[in-house]
Structure 1
Amino acid sequence: MTSEEQEFIRRFFRAVSDRPIEFNGLDDQRYVKIYEEPAFEDHDPVKLLASSITLLPGQSVQLLSGYRGSGKSTELRRLRRKLDGRGVYKVALLDIEDYLSPSQPIDVSDFLVAVAGGLGDALLEAGHLNGDPAEEGYWTRLVNFLVRTNIQLTEVSAGMTAGASTPDKLASAGASANFKASLKSDPSFRQKLQERMAGHLGALVRDVGTYVEECVKKVKAKYGPDTEVVLLVDSMEHFRGALTNATAVQDSVVNLFAKHSDKLHFNFLHVVYTVPPYLKVLQQNLGSFYQPGGVQMIPTLKVRHKEVARTPFQPALDLLEKLISERGDWKRLLGPDARGIVDELSLLSGGHLRDFLRLFAEIIRRADRLPVPRRVVEAAIQQIRSEFLPIPDDDAIWLERIASSHTTALKNNDRLHDLARYFDSHLALSYRNGEDWYDVHPLVREVVQQQATAARERWSDKKE
C-alpha cells in the first residue's frame, strides 16, 4: 500500500475503536441520531431519563441498562449535554471503575464511599465547584469518620496510616490518598473495610448523605437556588467478576440495587446509575425500587424482523450504514460490492453496535491492499465468531430454544445465572418491538443449531 493508503487505514481503524462520544464539539458528527428515526424514537433513553429528571424537581433515581457496547456511555454523555443546555442543571459524570474493581464482589459500604468520593471529584472536574466541594474532601473526611467511629485504619490496612493516630496526623500522613487507591486496587483492603463497616452502616449512610447535601449546597451557592444537580454513574455494567467468582459478583450487584435501594437515593440530587442487563434477569420488578423512572433498557438495534423468515429490517441497516460512514470511507475499504458487505456485517452483528464496529476493526487490521479481498472479510468474520466459542452442549440446546421461541425459555430459576451469562457474553440478545423478545447472536446461530441437533442425536443413540 502507498503511504497515503496506510494513513487512510490508520485513521479508519482509530475511528472504529470502541470509545464513547463525548459531544465536545470534536466528535459530535460521529453520533448517528438513531432515536430521531420514526422506527426507534419511542425508545430514546435520553428523552425518557431527562423527562423523569425535569418532571420531578429536587431529586430522583433511575437505572440505565444495556449490553456492554450498546452505547450506554455515549447516551449518558448525550444526556449530560441535553441537561447542561437547559442552564438550571449542573451535571457530574463519574466512572465507577475509577474507584472500584469490577472483578470483586461489591458491598453497599464501599459503593457509597466510591459514589461520595466520585461526586466531589466529578463536580470539581466539571468546573461546577471551585476548590473543595465541602470543608474537607471526601477521602480525608472518610478517614476522619473512621476515627470518630473507632474503626482503626491499622485494622483495615497495615501501614496505611504510617503511625498516625489523630485525624490531623492521618490527613498529613497521606492516608486519604492511600485509601482511595487501596479501595480499587487492593481486594484484601476492600474486604477488611467491608467487615469493619458492617456494624457502622447507618452512620456511614448518614455521613455520606450529609456530604452530598453539602456538595449540592455549594453548587447552588455558586449558580443560584434553583440549580439542580445531576450525578451520572457509569460502568456499573462492567461488574461481572471472573470465572471463579462471577456468581458472587452478580449476587452482590443484585443485593446492592435491590436490598439496599433506599440507600442509593440522596436528598437534593438526581442520580442515574448504569446497571448490567443481568440485574433485570436476576431481580424481577426491579424498577419498583426506583420510581418514577424505574429501569430504562437500551435494546439491541433490531436488524431483522421477529418472524421465522427473519427478513432484514431496512431502517436499522440504513442507520448502521450511516454509523460507519461517519467513521470512514467504507466504499474505498470494501470495493464495488461495498453496500452488500456492510449489510452483511450489520446482520451478522445482530444490531449490537460494538460487535458491528469490531467486525470493521478486524477487517481494517487485516487489510494489506485496497479494496480488501473477500478472504479478508471472511477471516475477520471467523475471528469474531471464534471469540464466542466453544459452547457447551447444554448451552447450545437452551440457546436453540431461545432462537426458536424468541423467549428466554427459562424453565426454572435454578439457571438464572446461566441466562445472565448469555446476556453478558452477547450469546443472547434482547430486542424490543412493542414487547421484549430475544434471539441468539447471528454470528453463532448456525453453530448453535447444528451443535444442538448433534447433541440430541448423540443422547438419543445412547438411550437406545
Structure 2
Amino acid sequence: MSKELLELFQEAYSNLELFPLMEKNEMEKFRVEYGDDLIADLNQLVEDSPNGDSKIIFTGHRGCGKSTLLAEFSRQIQNKYFVVLFSIADKIEMSAVNHINILFAIAVNLMSEAEARQVEIPQSTKEALYQWFATRTRTEELNLKAEAEIGFDLLKLISSKLKADAAVRDEIKQEFERKISDLVARINEIAALIQTATKQDVLVIIDDLDKLDLGRVNEIYKDNIKALCQPNFRIIYTIPIAVLRETFISTILTTETNDQIVVMPVLKIFEKGKNRLPHAQPRPETIKILGEVLQKRIASELIAEQTAEKIVIYSGGVLRELIRIAKECCRICLRLIRRNSAESIIIDDNILFQAINKIRNDFSIRLGRIDIDILQNVYKQFIPNDPKQPEFLDLLHGLYVLEYRTDETWYDVHPILIESLKNKGVIHVE
C-alpha cells in the first residue's frame, strides 16, 4: 500500500465533509467566489430597512450553499451591525422546534453574544435578565441554581437544556403560549441594551430552519409568522424552498415580510432542455465554479479532468450533491488502496460509475408509484402537473427534483435519477 497515496485520499476525504464554511480559515481554504449578487440583495434589504426591523426570508435547495453564504454575509457586515448568527439545529432538537423556542433561542443567543463580546450592560440589569432566564427554565430550578452557584456559565447551561431537555422546552412553551408578547418584550429589551452599549443595530440570522420537516415548517410559518415578526430588530429566517410552492404560506410570508424573500438558486448546468440533446454542452461558467470547488478539495493528481466535469454534471448544480458524489468516489478509492495495495489509483470514470450507482440506489429505494409519475411529468414538461401536491413538495425538499430560475422558474429531475427512470422504461433518453 502506498502510504503517500492513502494520505492524499484521506486528506481529500476529510476536505469533502458536508459542512458549511463558517470559520475564516475554512473560507480562505475552500470558498469559491460566487453568490455576490445574493449578498448584495441581502445587504440592500438589511441596510434599507425603513424602521430597522425588517424580517427577511432566505431560501433555496438544501445544500445549495446558503449557510456558507450567510456566514460570508455576516462576516462582511459585522463592523456595521451587532450580528448574531446561529444554527437552530445547534440549539434545539429539530423535531421539537416551534415558534416559541425559536424566539427563546434568539433571546439566549443575543445575551450569550453580548457576554462573549463583553458588552457593557449594567450589572443589576444583567442579573435581572439572568434571573428571568433561570425562572423560565424552572423545571429543574433547584439543580439549575446549584449548578450556577458552583461556577457554571448560566447561559451555556440554559442553552444545553434548551437543546436536550424536553421538560425545559415544555416549560417554556407553557409559559409563553398565551403571552408571546411578554417573551418578545424581553427580547426587545436585550436588543435595546446591546444597541445602546455598542451603538450598532442588531441583526439576527437563524440558519438551518430550512432543514425542518415540511409539516413542522407549516406549523411554524403558517400559524405563527406574526409572532416571529414581532421583535423590533432585523432578522433573517431560512425556510425550505418547497414552502414557496404552497400558495397560502407563500402569501403569508410575502405579506408579513413586505415581499422580502431572497432565493438562492441552483447553479444551472444546462439551459432548459439542452441536456436532452445529443452532445449537449454544459454552461462553462457553472463548470468553472463547481470545478474550482473540487480543485480546492481534491489534489489534481487524484482525479481525471473529464471525470471531474462529469461529477459537476451529475450534481445538478447543487453543491451538496457535488460534495457527496466526490466523497463517495474517495471512499471507493480508499477501500481499493487498502484492499489491493494499489500504488496508483485516481478517480476516473469507472470509480465515478460505482459511486453514482450507490447514490442512485439510495435515491431510488424510496420512490413509490406516485413519485415516479411525478418525476416522469417533470422530466417531460419541466414542471409538475400540480406544484402544490404534497408528494411533489417532498421530492423537491429531498432533491429528487431540482428547481432552476431564469426568466421563468422550471424544474428537472436530479441527473442521477434519470438513468434509473430510463431503466424502468418511464422515460426515453436520446
Normalising to structure 1: TM-score of the pair?
Answer: 0.79
Write out aligned runs for 1:377-396 (5 A): 377-390=352-365, 391-396=367-372
Correspondence for 1:457: none
Does the 8 Å contact 2:374/2:392 carry over to 1? no
**1:101 paired residue among 67, 90, 93:** 93
- Residue 143 (str. 1) matches residue 134 (str. 2): yes
Residue 281 of structure 1: how far off its partner (Å): 2.6
- 1:12-31 paired onto structure 2 within 5 Å: 12-22=12-22, 24-25=24-25, 27-31=27-31
Q: Contact (CA 8 Å) 1:94, 1:119: kept in 2 or not?
A: no
Counterpart amino acid of 2:397? D
Quote the residue 2:260 is aligned against. Answer: 294
Please give the secondary structure, in 2, of the residue aligned with 1:300.
Answer: coil
How far off its partner does 1:329 sit?
A: 2.2
What letter corresponds to residue 320 of structure 1 in structure 2? Answer: L
The within-5 A match list for 1:30-109 is 30-35=30-35, 44-56=37-49, 58-84=52-78, 87-104=79-96, 106-109=97-100
Q: Is the partner of 2:203 in helix, strand or coil?
A: strand
Residues 284/27 of structure 1: CA separation in 2 closer, same or farther (3 Å cut): closer
The partner residue of 2:141 within 161, 177, 190 is 161
SS across alignment from 1:229 = strand
1:397 pairs with one of 373, 398, 415: 373
Q: Which runs of 5+ in 2 are unaligned?
A: 338-343
> Kindly tell me: are residues 402 and 373 of structure 1, through their superposed partners in 2, closer, same or farther at Cα, counting changes over 3 Å?
closer
How far does residue 24 in structure 1 lie from its aligned partner after superposition?
1.5
TM-score normalised according to structure 2 size? 0.84
Q: Distance in 2 between matches of 1:161 and 1:131?
A: 25
Equivalent pairs, count: 407
Give the equivalent residue in structure 2 for 1:349.
315
Is contact 2:111–2:190 with CA below 8 Å preserved after alignment? Answer: no
What CA distance in whole angstroms lies between the structure 1 residues aligned with 2:332 and 2:269? 26
Query: Which runs of structure 2 are paired with 1:209-248 in the superposition (5 Å)?
Result: 209-220=188-199, 227-240=200-213
CA contact (8 A) 1:22 1:74 kept: yes
User: 2-side partners of 1:374 and 1:266: how far apart?
Assistant: 54
| Contact map agreement 1:396 1:451 (CA 8 A) in 2 | no
- 3-state SS, counterpart of residue 388 of structure 1: helix
Aligned to 1:41: none
Q: For residue 243 of structure 1, what is the aligned residue in structure 2?
A: none
User: What is the deviation of 1:452?
Assistant: 6.7
Shift of 1:35: 3.7
After superposition, the CA RMSD in angstroms is: 3.0
Q: Secondary structure at the match of 1:70?
A: coil
| Structure 2 CA distance for aligned equivalents of residues 27 and 171 of structure 1 | 37
Taking a change above 3 Å as real, the CA distance of residues 128 and 189 of structure 1, as seen in their structure-2 partners, is closer
- Which secondary structure state, in structure 2, belongs to the residue aligned with residue 14 of structure 1? helix
SS at match of 1:199: coil
| Pairing 1:408–2:411 present | no
* Letter of the 1:142 counterpart: F
Deviation, structure 1 residue 50: 0.5
Q: Equivalent residues in 2 for 1:241-320 (5 A)?
A: 250-265=214-229, 269-282=233-246, 283-292=249-258, 294-307=260-273, 309=276, 311=280, 312-320=282-290
Q: Deviations over 1:271-308 (max 9, x none)?
A: 11122223223322344235356221111111112126
Taking the aligned partners of 1:364 and 1:31, their CA distance within structure 2 comes to: 20
Q: Partner residue of 1:40?
A: none
Asked if 1 retains the 8 angstrom alpha-carbon contact of 2:135 and 2:141, the reply is no
Query: Relative to structure 1, is the Cα distance of residues 186 and 452 closer, same or farther in structure 2, using a 3 angstrom cutoff?
Result: farther
1:205 equivalenced with 2:212 (yes/no): no
Moved more, 20-29 or 276-285: 20-29
